[in-house]
Structure 1
């Protein structure tokens, strides 16, 4: 977090995407305090059904037909793909928590407005 001397007035923040910027779909997170307790470590993940390792299809005269389901090779369960590992100071974690809490309140208000208009 950038240290800013407290002064009256305005501070401009300019935003620029890094070369590694991308949109990440997040279904959940896992993590803990880093050793020493000064940082929060959080890995965010997306969930999906496993992608098959192999699928076999019938072909007839050069046309692809139905899949032979019993020849499919795939994992079972839910696949959690770790998307990014976030490490932040406790102050940054608190700011993130507060920001998320504000977005949740806004989202709930919008959802309630939509529900009330659809009745």
Structure 2
């Protein structure tokens, strides 16, 4: 199933991508649903990451977009060499963490693939 995934607890797609709507993405609001959708449907053609995902059901800070990126890299066992992603988080430090983790991991995979 070809699909795009939008991870954000509050924003809708058209708040980030002016010419797109929630109908253009599978929208998930938390880390748990992020994992569930990818496990059930495979790697999306594009992932758009927010970082700060509010509070969980126990009013604790929820696992964030960086945790989602780390799950992809370290636990998902998916081939991420062709992963397309965007980080739309308003948190500049966390946005850089997500961007750097995924960029560096994809570069590593491409280097390994060329050897």
TM, length-normalised to structure 2: 0.25
Please identify which structure carries the higher helix content: 2
Question: Whose Rg is larger?
Answer: 1
Please identify which structure carries the higher strand content: 1
